[in-house]
C-alpha cells in the first residue's frame, strides 16, 4: 500500500532505517537486521533517493515531501508484492514532484512487472497513467472500461458529469463554461434502495429511485450499471414522461 500523505504514513520519531527494517522483519523474522538494512538501503536506491546512505539515517521531517513519498514507495516494495495499491499518491505534492513520482511508478510497473491500482480523483493523472478505469460513486462501481472508453465514450451519467465539469484549455483560455453536477453526494450512512446517483441524475427515472440496476456489458471491457442501457427502457422512459405530463 502506498499511502496518500507520507508525513502521516511514516513514524516521525523513528529513523527511516528503523521503519524499513521493521517492515521486512515483520514479514520474515528469520532475516538478520544486517541483511534487512542492506535490502532497505538497496530499495531506497531503486526509487532514486540521492545519497541513500545518508537519508536512511534521517528522520521523516528531515526529508522533502517528494523524498518522503519515495520512502513510502520503497517501503511498499520491500516484500516484493504482486500488486501495489496507491491511494492518492501525489495529492500532497507540487506538480513537478507529482510528475517525478508518476514516472517512478511507471518505471516500477515496467521494470519490476508490478500491477498498480491507482485510487485518485485527478482525471488528468488517470488519463496519463492508467490503462483501465473503474468509476465509483458512493462506494459502488457504476462504470468500467479502457481509457478510450471512459474518456471518449462515457456511458454512465456520473462519468459524463465528471468529464463535463473539467476545464478544457483552448490556447491560453478556458474553453466553454463548466457544468457542475447539481446536488450533493448521499451520506455513507444513508441506505438507498435504488441507484445512489439517481437524485442528481438528469436522465433519472422513477425506476432508478426504487431499484439498483445490474451491470450491463457494452463491449469486451466496458460495463455500466444504468437502466438507460437496458433493452426497452428508452420506450418506458418516454411513456413515464408522458404520464408525468
Q: What is residue 196's predicted lDDT score, i.e. its pLDDT? A: 95
Q: What is the pTM of this model?
A: 0.83
- Report DSSP state, residue 166: S
Residues 197, 158 contacting (CB under 8 angstroms): yes
Strands 115-119 and 83-87 turn out to be: parallel
What would the grid cell of residue 225 be? Answer: 450499471
Rg of the chain over all Cα atoms, to the nearest angstrom: 23
The beta strands (E) that lie in the chain are given as 83-87, 115-119, 132-137, 140-146, 168-170, 173-175, 216-217, 223-224
Over residues 43-91, the pLDDT tens digits come to 999 999 999 999 999 999 999 989 999 999 999 999 999 999 999 988 8
Name the phi and psi angles at 241, rounded to 5.
-65, -40
The one-digit pLDDT tens for each residue of the chain (245 residues) are: 998 888 889 999 999 999 999 999 999 989 999 999 999 999 999 999 999 999 999 999 999 989 999 999 999 999 999 999 999 988 878 888 888 999 999 999 998 888 999 999 989 889 989 999 999 999 999 999 999 999 999 999 999 999 988 887 666 666 667 788 999 999 888 888 899 999 999 999 999 999 999 999 999 999 999 999 998 765 555 445 444 44
Nearest to 41 by CA among 14, 66, 15: 15
Amino acid at each position: 500500500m502506498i499511502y496518500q500523505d507520507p508525513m502521516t504514513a511514516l513514524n516521525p520519531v523513528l529513523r527511516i532505517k528503523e521503519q524499513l527494517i521493521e517492515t521486512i522483519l515483520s514479514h520474515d523474522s528469520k532475516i538478520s537486521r544486517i541483511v534487512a538494512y542492506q535490502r532497505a538501503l538497496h530499495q531506497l536506491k531503486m526509487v532514486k533517493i540521492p545519497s541513500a546512505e545518508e537519508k536512511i539515517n534521517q528522520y521523516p521531517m528531515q526529508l522533502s515531501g517528494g523524498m518522503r513519498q519515495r520512502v513510502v514507495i520503497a517501503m511498499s516494495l520491500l516484500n516484493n508484492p504482486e500488486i501495489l495499491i496507491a491511494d492518492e499518491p501525489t495529492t500532497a505534492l507540487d506538480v513537478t514532484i507529482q510528475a517525478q513520482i508518476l514516472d517512478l511508478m511507471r518505471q516500477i510497473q515496467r521494470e519490476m512487472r508490478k500491477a498498480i491500482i491507482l485510487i485518485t480523483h485527478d482525471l488528468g493523472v488517470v488519463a496519463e497513467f492508467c490503462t483501465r478505469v473503474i468509476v465509483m460513486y458512493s462506494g459502488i462501481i457504476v462504470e468500467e472500461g479502457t481509457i478510450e472508453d471512459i474518456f471518449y465514450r462515457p456511458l454512465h451519467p456520473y462519468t459524463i458529469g465528471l468529464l463535463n465539469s473539467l476545464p478544457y484549455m483552448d490556447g491560453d483560455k478556458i474553453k466553454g463554461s463548466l457544468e457542475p453536477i447539481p446536488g450533493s453526494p448521499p451520506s455513507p450512512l444513508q441506505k438507498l434502495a435504488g441507484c445512489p446517483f439517481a437524485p442528481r441524475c438528469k436522465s433519472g427515472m422513477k425506476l432508478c429511485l426504487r431499484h439498483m440496476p445490474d451491470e450491463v456489458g457494452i463491449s469486451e471491457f466496458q460495463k455500466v450499471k444504468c437502466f438507460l442501457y437496458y433493452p426497452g427502457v428508452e420506450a418506458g422512459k418516454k411513456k413515464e414522461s408522458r404520464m408525468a405530463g
